[in-house]
Amino acid sequence: MEGRVFIIGLGLIGGSLALGIKRQHKEAFIAGFDINAEQCRLARMLGVIDEAEDSIEEGAAKADLILLAAPVKVTADILARLGRMQLKKGVIISDAGSTKAEVVKSAAGLKEKGIIFIGGHPMAGSHKSGVIAAKEILFENAFYLLTPEPHVKEKDIMALKEWLAGTKAKFIQVSPEEHDYLTGIISHFPHIIAASLVHQAEKESRSHELVPRLAAGGFRDITRIASSSPEMWRDILLANKEVLLKLLGSWQAEMERVAVMLANQSSEDIQQYFAGAKQFRDDLPQKQKGAIPAFYDLFVDVPDYPGVISEITGYLAKAEISITNIRILETREEIYGVLVISFQTEEDRDRAAACIHHYTAYETSAGP
């Protein structure tokens, strides 16, 4: 497709959207804006965008497609500004935020002027941030939720999908309300639980000094999403308040159910509780991306001698395999230590296992 694309917010998401569009539409011209001038400079230098605009107004006035990749509250403010501007006839505007009902309400001014707004949410991410971390394959095989209102024409939805075809994402259309409920269940609420588990461990560590040391392994893995941006999650929770209050009520009832089983020493009920959870989890899709980015860990048994870690990472660097995280488990005291290396994709993890096959390695992959 020919045309001018304007991306507001040149971080990981905005940069990856730009690269996805470039991948499919070589003839498109991509301009960008970010409040951080350094991100604009890097985006231009890396070829993520063709031109950096000095203001939102300047970039939006010339665009055929406007994509907002900013925090939810900022997105709402920008949509209000766009509603007061003179934009090109037929321009399509979309966003990439984690909540939709509030964002769609903020686009009311666009609707009144006959400007097309289609809410969007590419459900993929990374522990890295900034345009330097952007990848054209970030959204490949990930779900990309679109939340068009009933008045939006099918041809405009199809046009947006065509613009975004290079992301190779799986598009699903839902209402803004359904989007917020679904993401509340499988993304927003788990982040609250992860943060609460960390808070509980922190409180217990004041009287049990071994807690931080023992939490360095599995506990740290299952709560890793608690390390996400506090500012971002503040905005997401406030934007999806009603859904999350309902889910918190259900969670409290669920925990009360467990408390009753424990108090009554209901052995069979407790076993069935875990069996039911195991069955549902085991039946979940294993090879597709979901709302929370998966992690792919490789556990490597390594002998204790100087330079062994740099030796292993050297093999991976030579094979051009990117590592997202690396750490040593401190809970084992045998002759062999355990090195945990994390990768962004299953393919990278499998290549790494083959690369360092002379060490004993075993794999895991799961949500954070």
Cβ–Cβ contacts within 10 Å for residue 294, how many? 17
Write the pLDDT tens digit of every residue in 188-211: 999 999 999 999 999 999 999 889
pLDDT of residue 354: 87
Write the pLDDT tens digit of every residue in 153-163: 999 999 999 99
Alpha helices, H only, 94-186: 101-106, 108-112, 154-163, 176-183
In angstroms, the first-to-last Cα distance of the chain is 37
pLDDT of residue 323: 81
Overall size of the chain counted in residues:
368
Alpha helices, H only, the chain: 12-24, 37-45, 56-61, 72-83, 101-106, 108-112, 154-163, 176-183, 189-205, 211-214, 218-222, 230-239, 241-263, 267-282, 308-318, 346-355
Write the pLDDT tens digit of every residue in 205-245: 999 988 988 887 678 878 888 888 898 899 999 999 999 99
pLDDT of 99 strictly over 80: yes
Output DSSP code: residue 163: H
pLDDT of residue 1: 86
Token pair recorded at residue 200: 């509980």
pLDDT of residue 368: 37
Question: What average pLDDT does the structure give for the chain?
Answer: 88
- Could you tell me the domains of the chain? 3-174 (3.40.50.720), 179-282 (1.10.3660.10), 296-366 (3.30.2130.10)
pLDDT of residue 361: 57
d(CA 330, CA 280): 32
pLDDT of residue 117: 97
Whether residue 144 contacts residue 170, with contact meaning beta carbons closer than 8 Å, is answered with: yes
d(CA 354, CA 363): 12
Q: pLDDT-based confidence at 286, cuts 50/70/90?
A: low
